[in-house]
Amino acid sequence: MRYLVFVAFLATIPIANWLIGNVGTTCIPNGPCLIPVAPGLMAPSGVLMIGLALVLRDAVQQQLGMRWAISAIAAGVILSAAIAPPALVLASAAAFLIAESLDLAVYTPLRRRSLALAVMLSGAVGALADSAVFLLIAFGSLDYLAGQVVGKLWMSAAAAAYLVWRGK
C-alpha cells in the first residue's frame, strides 16, 4: 500500500502534461491552457500537478526512504523527458531534476523538526526552482513565474495545513 505514493508521484507527470493542453479557463492556440491561481494571476493548468509532485516526493521519502526518493526523482526525469513535447524535453527534464533535488535537500534536514514546515519550505524552494528553470530554458522569459509559483504552492500549503491539523 505504501508504494502507491511512488506510483502517484510518477502519475503527476503525465497528468500535468495532459492538463496543460486540455484543461483551463483559457487555452492559448498552440500554447498552454491557463487557470486562475490567485486574483489576477494565471498559470498553466499543470502547475497543480507539479505542486502535488513536490509534496508526493516528500511522501515517498517519508514512507519509503531516501533511496526510493532518489529513484523517484530519476524515474521522474526519464518520464518527464519521454512525454514532454520535443521542443520542451530539455526544459522539462532539467526543471524536474533541479526542483525535486532541491526539494529533497531542503526537506531532509527539516523533516525531523517539523514535517509541516519541511513540506512547506521544500515545496516553496522546489516550486521556485521548477518554474524559473523551466521558463528560462523553454521560453527565455520569466513571464509566468509568479503564477506558476503560486499555483504550485497551493499543494504545499494544503499538505502543510493537513500536517499541522494532524499535529505533525
Domain ranges of the chain: 4-165
What pLDDT sits at residue 80? 86
pTM: 0.87
What pLDDT sits at residue 141? 87
What pLDDT sits at residue 160? 86
What pLDDT sits at residue 132? 95
What pLDDT sits at residue 60? 95
What pLDDT sits at residue 168? 73
- Low-confidence stretches of the chain (pLDDT < 70) are none
Phi, psi of 106 (to 5 degrees): -80, -40
What pLDDT sits at residue 167? 79
What pLDDT sits at residue 29? 84
What pLDDT sits at residue 130? 93
What pLDDT sits at residue 37? 94
